[in-house]
Amino acid sequence: MSGAGHLDAELEAAYRARYRHFLRVATAILGDEMSAHDAVQEGFARALREQRSFRGEGPVAAWVWRMVVNEALTSRRRRVSRRETGEVIERADRNGWPSDGYEIRTWVGALPERQRLMVYLRYYADLDYRSIAHVLGIEVGTVSATLNSAHQALRRRLEEVER
């Protein structure tokens, strides 16, 4: 079990070692790197602020991944909310993806949010199923089933194109 002081070092180590992966997942969620950078920093800052509440039920890395993902999702919700009130949001389309014509991007963007999030964590963060389960606070079996559903949906799209 890590103490709060040790968590400082672990968080800093995770930040330095995996910053680019955090940034990539946040960019996938938000659609632009600048906002993603902000989400990553705020996610880690929140982890620092709230480290005393870390219960050690999983790796520290999974806990901070959750912070960053939640920050990115929250940021995107705010953007959507502003857009609904008339403010122009640039480069936000298709669940956060910039719309530039890539089929696979469109397909992934059309997945339900939980499936899409798991795709990001699996392929952009390179997390295994157990780590994803820790990040999202769900069972490993749920991760497997959800990713399987995402794969099936994408496979159907692919088969439609190939026909």
Q: What does the per-residue mask of binding to other proteins show for 4-43, with x meaning CB under 8 A?
A: xxx-xx--x--xx--xxx-xx--xx----x---x---xx-
Does position 145 interact with other proteins (CB under 8 A)? The reply is no
Token duo for residue 161: 């194109």
Least spacing, CB of residue 98 vs other proteins, in Å: 10
Q: How many residues bind other proteins (CB under 8 A)?
A: 59
Least spacing, CB of residue 91 vs other proteins, in Å: 13
Does position 114 interact with other proteins (CB under 8 A)? The reply is yes
Phi/psi at 145 (5° precision): -65, -40
Does position 59 interact with other proteins (CB under 8 A)? The reply is no
Spatial CA neighbour of 106 closest among 115, 95, 117, 114: 95
Does position 89 interact with other proteins (CB under 8 A)? The reply is no
Does position 66 interact with other proteins (CB under 8 A)? The reply is yes
Identity of the residue numbered 24: R
What residue has token string 């919700």?
A: 77
Identity of the residue numbered 151: H
Least spacing, CB of residue 127 vs other proteins, in Å: 13
Name the DSSP class of 127. -
Spatial CA neighbour of 120 closest among 46, 45, 30, 56: 30
Does position 105 interact with other proteins (CB under 8 A)? The reply is yes
